[in-house]
Structure 1
Amino acid sequence: TQLKLMRQEQVDELRSLRTSFETFSQKMAEDGSKALIEALKEVIRDFNTQINEQFGENFKHLNASVEKLVIWQQQYKEELDKLQLMQKSSAEDLNNAASGLSLFIDRA
């Protein structure tokens, strides 16, 4: 009977130990999953922050470049307008010179 009682006690202890281990392993799995999820959230948050900073910087450079391009286009347009006026003036001067030369040849 003593052996039987000891055996029953060992079986009860083993069941208790098994239950404790299952509870422990389940708790560890949950904690591990939570820690992994938190770590992934942190990595994603850092990645998004870095992407936003990088794209923000790139867009700042792009905006500055576009602004310079618009200024250059405006200056180029003004220069073209001046050149067109000078070309018209030169064409008129050449026409006047041709008329004067034609008149000179007619009189000569």
Structure 2
Amino acid sequence: LSESDLTLVWSTIAGSLFVGAAFGAYVMSKILETHGPKHGILCSALVLVLATPLAGISHLVASPELFVLSRMFSGIGVGMGTTAQGVFLTEISPGTSFTILI
């Protein structure tokens, strides 16, 4: 690969996590409305558990495309988890210490 092609591949790999995180945050807002933060965090963990072996498989088969996909799924899980954990913390915290968390 040329240097510009290699830069494009690494930029795509790095950026796919953030694209996935934005999508995951949007999806989590819908999950939080319907199922609540506890189920949302579990969904986030499930996505991350599925994305991790996908990254390993992409290394075994030497597929950069599969690695980009695994990074996208990791980003979705990260975005979902980041969105849900704030809501979860506000729900489980007692009223007296609520202002400390904010």
Indicate whether the TM-score tops 0.5: no
Largest Rg, 1 or 2: 1
The structure richer in helix per residue is 1
TM-score by length of 2: 0.31
